Amino acid sequence: MAFVRSELQSNVLWLTIDRPKANAFNLELIGELQAAINQAGRDAQVRVVVLTGAGRVFGAGQDIEEIKAGGAELSYREHLLATYNPLILQLRRIEKPVIAAVNGPCAGASLGIVLACDLRVAAENARFVVGFTGIGLAPDSGVSLLLPALVGLGRALELTFSNQPLLAEKALEWGLVNRVVPFENLPQAVGALAQELAAGPVGAFGLSKRVYNRAVLADLQAVLEYESYVQEVAGARAEHKEGVAAFLEKRPAKFG
């Protein structure tokens, strides 16, 4: 079953994450997205990529059921090195504009994917949740670098420690998103922006991404690798086991 729908419209490739109920990421979905972005980078017809979610949720992050099914043998470090780390690097390294059309809430690894895009247009119902600490983990998927780069360290730490959602209008005020539009207008607003970019000097846009990556995100790969190390430590702790149990049992976690 395909979890990423792909549609090319006038040099704009729309990639829609479609895994009910909440577009949570599993290995198959991540692999499909990696393949789609690789293909987009090679396809001369694709001048802009738009990444969005089906329905009214962008993405709930990593599928916790899949993590639980991995049991004690699961290495969080190896998982990240094979999945989210290369995906985040792909989004930053593809020399074409990538727009996140944030159609609703996003959390955890889904937040990292949104942050790794070049531009973010959010629907009014969008919510941004760091998420990791809710299950006793530390940020990964580039969140530890990309979030403070956009909103500042103090705000990033507040969002991480509180695990409270950042609403779309506040996200615009803080610089996390570029634009906020009504939910029903999101496809049209993003489509118009994408067409404007597709008509521009995409080669120069790609080189611009390269120099901004060097100037602002030069340590991204090293940070991703360190996140995977830290997550291996966090994943082995009792806090994480309690956080996952509480999440699955739909009760407040008892960390203290």
For 5-22, the pLDDT digits (tens) are 999 999 999 999 999 989
- Sign, CA dihedral 23-25-26-30, equals positive
Q: How many CA atoms lie within 13 A of 123 on its CB side?
A: 21
CA 174 to chain centre: 18
Q: Whole-number mean pLDDT of the chain?
A: 96
Q: Which two tokens stand for residue 90?
A: 């792909």
> Do the beta carbons of residue 61 and residue 108 sit within 8 Å?
yes
Write out pLDDT tens, residues 184-239: 999 999 999 999 999 999 999 999 999 999 999 999 999 999 999 999 999 999 99
> Do the beta carbons of residue 105 and residue 165 sit within 8 Å?
yes
Architecture of the domain spanning 4-183: Alpha-Beta Complex (3.90)
- Is pLDDT above 80 for 72? no
- Split at pLDDT 50, 70, 90, the class of 71 is low
CA 24 to chain centre: 11
| Amino acid letter, residue 167 | L
> Do the beta carbons of residue 87 and residue 32 sit within 8 Å?
no
pLDDT confidence of residue 66: 85
Write out pLDDT tens, residues 155-174: 999 999 999 999 999 999 99
The average pLDDT across 59-87 equals 89
Closest CA to 221 of 138, 119, 112, 142: 142
Question: Distance (Å, rounded) from C-alpha 27 to C-alpha 92?
Answer: 21
- Is pLDDT above 80 for 60? yes
What residue segments make up the domains of the chain, in order of their start?
A: 4-183
- Split at pLDDT 50, 70, 90, the class of 153 is very high
pLDDT confidence of residue 140: 98
pLDDT confidence of residue 67: 79
Q: DSSP strand E in the chain: where?
A: 4-9, 12-17, 48-53, 98-102, 106-107, 119-123, 127-129, 166-167, 179-181
The average pLDDT across 34-39 equals 98
- Split at pLDDT 50, 70, 90, the class of 1 is low
| Amino acid letter, residue 189 | A
Closest CA to 227 of 115, 112, 116: 112
- Split at pLDDT 50, 70, 90, the class of 69 is confident
The average pLDDT across 76-83 equals 95
